[in-house]
Amino acid sequence: MKRMMFLVASAVALSGAAQAQSKESGGKILIAYFSWGGNTREMAKQIQQQTGGDLFEITTVKTYSKDYNECVAEAKKEQQANARPPLANEVKNMADYDVVFVGYPNWWGTMPQALFTFLEKYDLSGKTVVPFCTHGGGRWGRSLDDLKKLCPESKILEGLAIGGSMVRRSKDDVVKWLQKIGITKNNE
């Protein structure tokens, strides 16, 4: 009986130490993303599988056209107007997160205007921000510069940009990237 109590006490102590280590190395993870055609959503799910973070899809009140050309025109118009489209949902407990992955497709050389709305709505000061992007050839565009302007008090880690047509075959790239930046499940 004493041996069993010792084993239980040891397991509890180890569990507490593991939780403390997780907190020191990044804490609770949020994977916030905007996806139009599903590529960024797929990438977010791959990140979630490797990190155990919470998924949050950024959606707008007004949905974008399902037609690619119409959506491109809508995105261009929003960008030219420096619009901040209203969001349809919100993160209820942003203060609980220490690491925030921010994912988006490259629209007209930067992130969709919905990301500007999201990043201006939440104070990410003191948090670690990790960008990820899907694109049709433009990689990051100027989105990293825009992200740094919107999150000046955040630690921004190296991001990952993957061509939209490659996302479903990019799991190994996602794993290598997460290992490189030191964010994996339980930081294994």
What's the pLDDT tens digit per position in 98-150?
Answer: 999 999 999 888 999 999 999 999 999 999 999 999 998 889 999 999 999 99
**Residue pair 101/33 in contact by the 8 Å Cβ criterion:** yes
Q: What is the pTM of this model?
A: 0.83
Length of the chain: 188
Residue type at position 88: A
Question: Is the pLDDT score of 177 beyond 80?
Answer: yes
Of the candidates 124, 128, 126, the residue with the CA atom closest to the CA atom of residue 157: 128
pLDDT per position as a tens digit, 27-62: 799 999 999 999 999 999 999 999 999 999 999 999
The rounded distance, in Å, linking the Cα atoms of 103 and 116 is 12
**Residue pair 174/148 in contact by the 8 Å Cβ criterion:** no
Domain positions in the chain are 28-187
Question: Is the pLDDT score of 6 beyond 60?
Answer: no
**Residue pair 119/151 in contact by the 8 Å Cβ criterion:** yes
Residues sharing a CB contact under 8 Å with residue 161, sequence separation 6 or more, in sequence order = 106, 132, 133, 134, 135, 139, 140
pLDDT of residue 186: 55
How many Å from the N-terminal Cα to the C-terminal Cα in the chain? 33
Which CATH class name applies to 28-187? alpha beta
Look at 6 and 182; give whichever has higher pLDDT.
Answer: 182
Q: What angle do CA 89, 90, 96 make, to 5 degrees?
A: 155
| Helix (H) and strand (E) counts in the chain | 6, 6
pLDDT of residue 27: 79
